[in-house]
Structure 1
Amino acid sequence: MILSILIAILIVFTIVFSIFLHFASEYAFKEAFYARRKTKEDSIKRLNNWGLWNEEYFENLQMEDVFITSKDGLNLCGHLIERFEDSNRYIILVHGYSANHYLHMPFIPMFLKERFNILLVEERSHGESEGKYATYGYKEKEDLNLWINFLEERKGEELFLGLHGQSMGAATVLLCGARNRKVKFVIEDCGYSSGKELMRYQFSKVDYVPFGLVYWLLNLKVKRRCGFKFEDVCPINAIAKSEVPIFFIHGDADKKVPVNMAIDMYKRRNREGDMILIVPNAVHLTSYKEKKEEYERMVHDFINNADI
């Protein structure tokens, strides 16, 4: 009798725990992949709050809408500024998760000052680009390779090409730049070193969730629905043996992507030509706002060193 009761309790516990894991992993999936995409108005409002939006300047930029098709058939949109017809200097700006190219526009004056033609891309499932899911850099790195091919074909010559990304865009430029020999330098701003460790960090904020089990189930759903696993997104491993110079930038008050990820990547590389800027009191995406002059000065020095 007692044994039967214990077995029944165990069965009930197993069922309840399985239901809990299912809903916990579904919630985690929703948080990771269904964040509301920002509109133009959302982005401009944020930039105005940060003091980084100059309406007259940005609205009068000569910007051409350009398009490519991803390997899996998605129509992807970009916005091209070719101010210097005699220059082969191009930089691609890659925004973060749930953002759009507007949030990257404050960097335009800095790179125009360095005489770069500029391509701002809309990552898959963001802005005007098609797609249901973001993949944290996994498929985005291949999209970025196609954008690089687009620019080379358009210009018709070898480029002095750089990549600048923020957050998920930073992970994307690291993954792409580490393997694409056409890339001459990478600037990553508040990017993560590992998709798995980013999930672990997010799970750590909720005490009652067992990371190992929920993560395992979440990963199964990510693989089935999105075609990748979080272990597939590992910039720290991708860049370990890459020769491309990298500038790591991060705020020490970042609560979305911990600053130690940038420090770990910089130390893992230990490569001459790399640079790192840790901005005191900067939260996610705000290093440029907090230390604009130092940011621009170090970007200038970094690019000049990469162009030797």
Structure 2
Amino acid sequence: MIGHYIANFIMLSPKTPREELIKIDTERGFGDAIEDYEKRWDKEPFTIASDDAEIKGEIILNPAHVHKRNKVAVIAHGITAAKEADIKYAKIFYDLGYNIIIFDERYFGESKAKYCTLGMKEADDIKRICESARERFGSDCLIGLHGESMGGASVLRMLSSFSPDFVVADCPFMDLELLIKELAYKRASILGEPARYVARLIGYLRYKYDYFKVKPIDSVRNSDVPICFMHGEDDSLINVNHSKTMYELCKNPLSEIHIFKGADHALSITEDRAGYTKVINEFIEKVERAAGI
């Protein structure tokens, strides 16, 4: 029963309505970002075919370009959400002069796919978006990625096949097998071990999907891209040790990790918006300086 629940939650996750996402972030103090998105930013819709999915999103064009190289930030949301959840992060990058790409992950929002794969195929979707960004903004454009939760894991996993200029990974998991094991034990104690194997079997038989293969930590281990990890100290879904372990494997000396006290899952920016923004601003300043911008 528990294994069945886990498999279905991964592949057929509930979807939060757009209006609810806007309402939640407005109540959390991001009304200014929502207003900029709705009333001020120049948006351009796009659709990209990726494997068996149709990915829909928006390019937010930034008029503040004063650099020789275009700058683009691709933002990936977490499970159950849609691109509206990215707006609060988009404002940080927009204020730094970046064009923004936000999109609905496969299966969520307006994007079309039979199911979510929690980072397996999402990583390929993000790679396709980055390739499209280079076609649009120039092969030498500076591309940065921000991912939250599933989005963070997907962005990190993509590093095995595409190298952006930097990554900000907010509360990502390092290994889906480990995460499922941890969550299964929380729900079922001694039954957690068999439950995760039942979930794996159901996922494979019903969806041809093996979640044991989703291991962002392997991509981090083999990448030289600067990564800024952000994680809530009190994350009750994805333990902060996932980010700590991956950070220790980072090869690029510009990589950083920041732990936000009192923050639960995906709430670091809510708990300390000013501090969160400052971290990203200073990290990007280092990356751009190294890139000669």
- Where does residue 125 of structure 2 map in the other structure? 143
Rg (Cα) greater in structure = 1
1:93-145, CA deviations, whole angstroms, 9 ceiling, x for partnerless residues?
00000101111101222111211100001100001100121111110111111
Name the stretch that deviates more: 62-71 or 32-41.
32-41
Structure with larger RCO (C-alpha < 8 A, sep 6+): 2
Q: Tell me the secondary structure at the aligned position of residue 31 of structure 2.
A: coil
Identity %: 27
Contact 1:89 1:117 in 2 (8 A): yes
Q: Which runs of 5+ in 2 are unaligned?
A: none
Q: Tell me the secondary structure at the aligned position of residue 93 of structure 2.
A: helix
Distance 1:161 1:124 in 2: 21
Contact 2:48 2:129 in 1 (8 A): yes
Paired residues, number: 284
Contact 1:88 1:157 in 2 (8 A): no
Query: Quick one: which of 96, 99, 106 aligns to 2:81?
Result: 99
Name the stretch that deviates more: 63-72 or 89-98.
63-72
Q: Tell me the secondary structure at the aligned position of residue 172 of structure 2.
A: coil
Deviation at 1:209, TM superposition (A): 5.1
Query: Quick one: which of 156, 161, 171 aligns to 1:179?
Result: 161
- Where does residue 291 of structure 1 map in the other structure? 272
Distance 1:301 1:254 in 2: 24
- Where does residue 127 of structure 1 map in the other structure? 109
- Where does residue 110 of structure 1 map in the other structure? 92
Change (3 A) 1:28 1:56: closer
Deviation at 1:28, TM superposition (A): 2.1
Deviation at 1:177, TM superposition (A): 2.8
Change (3 A) 1:45 1:209: farther
> Does residue 44 in structure 1 map to residue 22 in structure 2?
yes
Change (3 A) 1:56 1:212: closer
Contact 1:163 1:177 in 2 (8 A): no
> Does residue 80 in structure 1 map to residue 62 in structure 2?
no
Query: Quick one: which of 30, 34, 41 aligns to 2:8?
Result: 30
Contact 2:10 2:117 in 1 (8 A): no
Contact 1:167 1:189 in 2 (8 A): yes
- Where does residue 186 of structure 2 map in the other structure? 205
Q: Tell me the secondary structure at the aligned position of residue 187 of structure 2.
A: coil
- Where does residue 7 of structure 1 map in the other structure? none
Instruction: Provide TM-score, normalisation by structure 2.
Output: 0.92
Change (3 A) 1:56 1:28: closer
- Where does residue 238 of structure 2 map in the other structure? 257
Could you list the runs of 4 or more consecutive aligned residues of structure 1 that deviate by over 4 angstroms after TM superposition?
none
Q: Tell me the secondary structure at the aligned position of residue 146 of structure 2.
A: strand
AA at the equivalent of 2:106: R
Deviation at 1:270, TM superposition (A): 5.9
Distance 1:294 1:28 in 2: 35
Distance 1:93 1:39 in 2: 19
Q: Which runs of 5+ in 1 are unaligned?
A: 1-22
AA at the equivalent of 1:77: K
Deviation at 1:192, TM superposition (A): 0.5
Contact 1:135 1:226 in 2 (8 A): no
Distance 2:24 2:64 in 1: 33
Q: Tell me the secondary structure at the aligned position of residue 42 of structure 2.
A: coil
Contact 1:167 1:285 in 2 (8 A): yes
- Where does residue 69 of structure 1 map in the other structure? 49
Instruction: Provide TM-score, normalisation by structure 1.
Output: 0.87
- Where does residue 217 of structure 2 map in the other structure? 236
AA at the equivalent of 2:146: H
Deviation at 1:225, TM superposition (A): 3.0
